[in-house]
Amino acid sequence: MSLILANFPSLTGKFAVGCYDIEWKNKHYAADNNRPPSAKSVLMRLYYPANIKKDDHKANWITDSQYAKALCDIAKLPAFLSNWLSGLASAKKTRFYKDAEILDGQKRPFPVVVFSHGLGGNRLIYSSICSDLASHGFVVVAIEHRDGSASLAKGIDDEWIQYDNVPPEIWGFRHHQLGHRVSEVDLCVAGLDEIAAKGLHKANAPNFKGKLDMESLVMAGHSFGGATTMLALNETNCRFQCGVLLDPWAQPLMMMADKQVQIKKPVIVILSEQFTFWPDNFESVKELIDSSTCSSQSICLTLNGTEHQHQSDVLLVLRYFTLFDFRSPFQIDPVRAIDLNTEAAVTFINKCIASPPYSKKRKSTVATSTAAVGDANFGFTRVIKKSRLAA
C-alpha cells in the first residue's frame, strides 16, 4: 500500500504524539432564530505530546471509509477508483497514537492551538501539520465543522452531514456558515476550559486535567478556516494570543456588509504560491493585515512552488501520483512543504505567547532566528509587511 499512498513523514519535534476524539455538548444551548447562531455540540480531535506505551497503536489516517469516499466525490473520481482509494485510506497508518496518555511530568502545561479546516476538509485531513505542531509541545485541537463546509462531518447522533456543494461566492450563505463556525470555536474553547480544570470522566480517556495552558491560546485555520480564524480574532473579548492563517480565503470577510472585520491579534499568514497568484484574494488579505490593530506585529509570507493543498494531507499521501505530473507549476516536495509551514508557525507562535513550549533543537531547513522571520531567506518570497520580530 505504501507504493500507492505514501507514508506520512516523521514528526519534526521532540515529542511523540497521541490523538483523542471528543464530542463536547453545549450545556446552555437554546435554539432561537432571533439570536446569533449557537453550536449545539462540537466534534474535535486533540493532538498532544504523549507518553507512548508498548500496547499503544498508531492511529489510522481516516476513521471511516465514508470520509475518504466523500473526498473522492468532491474530486469527481469514478466509483471504482473511489472505492479502491477509500479502502486504502482507511487502513493508512499515521505517525501518532490513538488514545495514548498525554505526557506527564512537564514543568508547565502545554499551549493550545485551535484549528479550523477549509471547504471540503474535516478534522482528519490536516493531521500532518496538526501532529507536527503537537510534536513541538502544543495541544492542537482540530474542529470538524458541522455547517455543511466539511467534505463529510459526523453529526451529534452519528448521522452524516454532507458537503453543501454550494458555489463559493454565495456570500450570504458563507456568512451564515462563518457565524456557525465561530460559535463552534467558542464552544470548543469553553469545553477546553472545563477539560483543563476537571479532566475527562471517561474510561481510558487521557488525563488532560492541568495539562492545557488556556492562557496561551492560538487560533489557526486553512482557507475557509483562515476566514474563520480572522473572524474569531475580530471578537471584542478575544482570548487568543495570535493567529496562524494558512492560505486564508479573505473575500467572504470583505463582503460582509453588516460587519467591519478588524483583526485584533498578531497573525502569521503563510500563502501558497498558488494563492499568491489570486489577485483579488491576495489584495483582500493585504488589506485585512494592514488594517489590523496588530499590523506591525504581523507577517505574511509566500512559500515558493506550492499549491493550496500543500497545507493539508492530500498531496502528502498522493505524492507518488503527482511526482511525474509536469502540468503543475507547483512542484515542491509535499513533505518539505509541511515542514516549512510547521517551522514558520512554531517560530511565530513562540514569539507571541507567554510561555512557549520546549522544542527540539535541530538543523533547520529554513532560517528560524528572530531576525529571519521577516526576511526573504526564510524559505519564502513575497513579504507583505515585516513585523517587529524582524527588528
* Extended beta strands in the chain, E state: 17-25, 41-51, 58-60, 93-98, 101-102, 110-116, 139-144, 152-154, 160-162, 212-222, 240-246, 267-272, 299-303
Q: What angle do CA 162, 259, 348 make, to 5 degrees?
A: 75
- 223 annotated active-site: yes
> What distance separates the 2 farthest-apart alpha carbons in the chain?
56
- 147 annotated active-site: no
Residues pairing with 271 in the sheet: 302
Kindly name the residue from 117, 145, 308, 310 that is annotated as catalytic: 308
Pairing outcome for strands 160-162 and 152-154: antiparallel
Residues pairing with 110 in the sheet: 212
DSSP secondary structure letter of residue 309: G
Q: Give alpha helix (H) positions in the chain.
A: 65-74, 79-91, 127-134, 171-198, 224-232, 251-254, 273-276, 279-290, 314-317, 319-322, 334-352
- 10 annotated active-site: no
Q: Output the nine-digit C-alpha cell for 203.
A: 474510561
- The residues, any chain, with a CB within 8 Å of residue 75's CB and separated by 6 or more, are none
Burial of 70 (0-12, 13-18, 19+ CB in 10 A): buried
Kindly name the residue from 82, 127, 128, 223 that is annotated as catalytic: 223
Kindly name the residue from 132, 147, 247, 313 that is annotated as catalytic: 247
Catalytic residue IDs: 223, 247, 308
